[in-house]
Structure 1
Amino acid sequence: MSKLARSTIGLMIVTLLAKILGFSRELVLASVYGTSAYSDAYLIALNIPVVIFATIGGALATTFIPLYFESNNIDGDTRSLKFANNVFNIVMIISIIVALLGIVFTKPLVKLFAVGFRGNTLKTAIDFTRILIPGIIFIGFSNIMTSYLQIKNNFTIPGLISVPYNIIIIISMLVSIKYGPYTMVWGTLIGMISKFLFQVPFAYRNGYKYEAHISLKDEYLRKMVWLVGPVFIGIAVNQINAMIDRTLASVLPEGSISALNYANKLNQFIMAFFITSIAAVIYPMLSKLSSENNKEKFVGTVVKSINSIIILVMPVSVGAIVLATPVVKFLFQRGAFNITATKMTSIALVFYSIGLIGYGLRDILGRVFYSLKDTKTPMINGAMAMIMNIILNLILVKFMGHAGLAFATSISALICIFLLFNSLKKKIGYFGQDKILKTTLKSLASAIVMGIITFFTYKFLIKVLGLSFITEAIALFGSVFIGALVYGILVIILKVEEVNMIIDMINRKLKRKSYIKEKSS
């Protein structure tokens, strides 16, 4: 098994654990607060520090990786560690300043993110935000530690940081039933801090040593500043899109923000399990291959990564559209989450799922450009997609309500990947376009057939088994299993290259085990 495959599968396993806990957190929130004013206020308050500093921290972390490799290749370990500490200390200063400004200007900040909030909902959101704003500092620290560990080929620990984070929040949500919703918010702040603290000992084991060093004259820092602006804008585009969605949703009926959030979390679960895992592993590899000017391996890695995303995400996208209502009902409909909430969330899930392949490929293609030290192209294409998203938001929200916001996000994501593919062709010429197109068409055809069979299988099972929680669960999982089986058979029949590679890899491992057993006997 290749190093890329081993690292990706390992990260997928730990990500699955972390995301199951993250999804459990959403289930607990839905059960305790449903689609209420408290859940809307909490989600806005939680989103603000993420938008503010995840954008800054994400931009710094993205440009940090290729420049660390450049520094290490040219000047060695001591110099690259000095560069890492320089970045860490500058992030510390920036994040403290941003947090203090956030505490002072909390009210206008909340109004910017939720223009439709009034009265008690607005007051609650302001109080919640004021508690969570200091979390900005630890989001910044955590981003740098994650990048450092990924550089050192340690993907497991960054993948696990959400485990203590989600456990702490889940406990605080359950405790808040007795002691009030503010308990949940304080628990969330502690969870943010835990993400950074969890990584520190492992960073030290991988050679990190903290030094109180700041130098604005560092040549690699200057390069980073030159690169970070476009990356910041590119990442901010995604956050602005989310902010605009929530802002427009805040003027819609109560619970619209929560419905969009729960639907989006379902898609993010898939994104994190497949897409984020692959993207996290390939980015340091692409950065290294780019710095070594190894174009053949670079293109090969790009093709494998893109096709892997297409093969994995295409059936999930179609499946989520077909089974949106039963999935939402099974996962969320209990406690304060009623039938109305299920309808609102499932319709949002359908329209978010249309663009699932777009979200995934946008993430991968962005990293391809960043590894080439081209930060402007993703920024320009992302800005164009953002403008399209805003226009579509304003049009579709009038006719489709919160579902229109989800649909606009999907359309803009699909437009963005077409723009990025075109830009990549201009940038490096051939990048395996023919192979990617073949895989896309084969996967799409297989997924459509799978979707039709899955839909009728679910309807048949429900008709035979009847309506109850257990029988609906059997029907849901049964139809998902049949659908997955159909898709797997079809992509094998159609000879999708990456699938054949996986089968060959499994056969080699089975033959190796068989050989070892024969030898030992």
Structure 2
Amino acid sequence: MSKVAKAALGLMAATLIAKILGFGRELTLASAYGASSTSDAFLVAMNIPAVIFTAIGTSLGTAFIPLYCEVNSSQGEKASIKYTNNIFNVVVLICIVISIIGAIFTPQVVKLFALGFKGETMEKAVYFTRAMILGIPFLGISYIMMAYLQVKENFIIPGLMPVPYNTCIIISILLSVKTSPYILPWGALIGLLGQFLFQLPFAMKKGFIYKPYINLKDEYLKKMLWLVAPVLIGVAVNQINTIVDRTIASTLVEGSISALNYANKLNQFVMGMFIVSISSVVYPMLSKLSTENNKVKFNQSIVKAINIVILLVIPISVGAIILSTPIVKILFQRGEFDARATYMTSVALVFYSIGMIGFGLRDILGKVFYSLQDTRTPMINGAIAMGLNITLNILFVKFTNMQLAGLALATSTAALVTVTMLFTSLRIKIGPFGGKSILLVFIKAIISALLMAVITTIIYRKVSYLLGTGTMKEIITLAVAIGVGAIVYATSIIVLKVDEVNLILNSLKSKIKRS
């Protein structure tokens, strides 16, 4: 197995651990405070720093990597450490200013995010937010450390970054039940610091040495700020799409926003587990190859990354379409989440799944352009996609009877159109890069996934008929159907001789022989 594949698998495992712990955090909060004013206030307070800085932090990390590679290649290791310290210290200063402004205007900030909060709930939200907004500098430098570790080919530690954060929050929730809910934000604040401290020793092992160096006239700082702006706009476009979707969903039948949110959570789980893991590993490598002007390996890496995404996402999206109802039922249908909510969420999941390959390839292709220090093309394509998404939302919801399904289909369609535009733009920019290979893998993946869909549907119905209803029986039925489907899909792509699969098989065979 290649070094890139091992790194991607390691990051997937780390991401899974982090997501499980994040789910544990939600369960602990729900168990301790239920649906109360305290939980509402705390959730809003956690969301505010994330919304304020996550987009900025992601943009900084994205712009940092290709420029680090450029500095390291042209001026050496000492200059790249100097560049890292300059970015690090400038980010700290900017974040401190943002924190001070946020602490002064906390009531106004909370009202923007929670207009309906009043009385005790508002008082708690202001207190919680004011404490947590002090952690924005920790959040900022965590993203810089994450980018530094990724460019040094350490991907597992950045993937585990949420672990100390979620652990500290879980501890603070448990302590708050016995003491006071007002210690909740301080646990989260310590968790934000913990994210940075967790990564720091590993960064130092990779050569990072902190120095209080600031040079506002540095050409690479200016270049980075120039690259950050389009990335930030591109991230903001996705946020606007989500806001528009939820706003229109609020005009539909009751529960539409929740159904859209739950279906999107399942879609984002796939994105976080597989797509983000692959793009995080591939991006630093592409940046280095671009800096070295190694066009052959650069193009080969693009094709491999895209083909791996196709091979992973196509069966998942087809599986989600045919098994949407049992998946949603097993995961969510309990308590107040009734059969109606299951139906609405499964419908949204089906139409989100249609565009899953678009979401995945959009992220990979965006990273390809960023590695070429072209942040403008993804921004323009993203803006076009946003306009298309809003137009289709109105068309599907207002002029057809698709309702909730129309919102999800509009998002999927916009993602697929964006990917088509990005492919076209990339071919214009770098010339032919292996489109025939990608198309061939796509066709083989579709054929394998359709065969999988037929057999999985038959198996699910037969096992369901034999076992009957009941939570455990339904879980077993779904697990058997998914397991058989995975075997059918894997066998099919092996028979169809997909290159990426053959590389893995040959690697395993050679290891077995050596053993």
Aligned equivalents of 2:109 and 2:316: distance in 1? 36
The answer on whether the counterparts of 1:41 and 1:121 sit within 8 Å (CA) in structure 2 is: no
Aligned equivalents of 2:180 and 2:257: distance in 1? 21
Matching residue of 1:151: 151
Aligned equivalents of 1:198 and 1:154: distance in 2? 13
Work out whether 1:8 is the aligned partner of 2:4: no
Aligned equivalents of 1:425 and 1:463: distance in 2? 51
The answer on whether the counterparts of 2:326 and 2:478 sit within 8 Å (CA) in structure 1 is: yes
The answer on whether the counterparts of 2:111 and 2:117 sit within 8 Å (CA) in structure 1 is: no
Matching residue of 2:17: 17
User: Runs of 5+ in structure 1 lacking a partner?
Assistant: 514-521
Report the number of matched residues: 512
Classify the secondary structure of the residue corresponding to 1:261.
helix
Per-residue deviation, 1:428: 0.5
Aligned equivalents of 1:40 and 1:250: distance in 2? 19
Aligned equivalents of 2:182 and 2:344: distance in 1? 26
The answer on whether the counterparts of 2:42 and 2:125 sit within 8 Å (CA) in structure 1 is: no
For CA contacts below 8 A with separation 6 or more, give which structure has more relative contact order: 1
Work out whether 1:490 is the aligned partner of 2:492: yes
Amino acid across the alignment from 1:489: T
Matching residue of 2:267: 267
Render the CA deviation track for 1:441-483: whole Å, top value 9, x for unaligned: 2112221232232233222222211111110110010111011
Matching residue of 2:367: 367
Matching residue of 1:49: 49
Amino acid across the alignment from 2:442: T
The answer on whether the counterparts of 2:317 and 2:356 sit within 8 Å (CA) in structure 1 is: yes
Of residues 441, 444, 460, the one that matches 2:443 is 441
Classify the secondary structure of the residue corresponding to 2:472.
helix
Deviates more, 1:435-444 or 1:224-233: 224-233
The answer on whether the counterparts of 1:55 and 1:239 sit within 8 Å (CA) in structure 2 is: no
Aligned equivalents of 1:65 and 1:407: distance in 2? 34
Matching residue of 1:285: 285
Deviates more, 1:104-113 or 1:459-468: 104-113
User: Runs of 5+ in structure 2 lacking a partner?
Assistant: none
Aligned equivalents of 2:259 and 2:32: distance in 1? 15
Matching residue of 1:316: 316
- What pairs with 1:56-75 in structure 2 (closer than 5 Å)? 56-75=56-75
Matching residue of 2:223: 223
Per-residue deviation, 1:223: 1.6
- What pairs with 1:329-340 in structure 2 (closer than 5 Å)? 329-335=329-335, 337-340=337-340
Deviates more, 1:95-104 or 1:75-84: 95-104
Structure 1 pair 38/278, CA: closer, same or farther in 2 (3 Å)?
same
Of residues 457, 463, 467, the one that matches 1:455 is 457
The answer on whether the counterparts of 1:12 and 1:277 sit within 8 Å (CA) in structure 2 is: yes
Work out whether 1:208 is the aligned partner of 2:208: yes
The answer on whether the counterparts of 1:492 and 1:500 sit within 8 Å (CA) in structure 2 is: yes
Structure 1 pair 107/453, CA: closer, same or farther in 2 (3 Å)?
farther
Matching residue of 1:519: none
Render the CA deviation track for 1:382-412: whole Å, top value 9, x for unaligned: 1111122223334445555555433332222
The answer on whether the counterparts of 1:264 and 1:349 sit within 8 Å (CA) in structure 2 is: yes
Structure 1 pair 383/359, CA: closer, same or farther in 2 (3 Å)?
same
Aligned equivalents of 1:304 and 1:325: distance in 2? 33
CA RMSD of aligned residues (A): 3.1
Structure 1 pair 490/26, CA: closer, same or farther in 2 (3 Å)?
farther
Matching residue of 2:234: 234
Of residues 392, 409, 412, the one that matches 2:411 is 409
TM-score, with structure 2 as normaliser: 0.89
Aligned equivalents of 2:226 and 2:4: distance in 1? 30
Classify the secondary structure of the residue corresponding to 2:154.
coil
Render the CA deviation track for 1:5-58: whole Å, top value 9, x for unaligned: 222222222223223333444566677788999877766554443232111121
Matching residue of 1:165: 165
Amino acid across the alignment from 2:90: I
Classify the secondary structure of the residue corresponding to 1:154.
coil
Amino acid across the alignment from 2:425: S
Amino acid across the alignment from 2:483: F
Render the CA deviation track for 1:351-406: whole Å, top value 9, x for unaligned: 32222111111111111011111111111111111122223334445555555433
Matching residue of 1:306: 306
Work out whether 1:379 is the aligned partner of 2:403: no
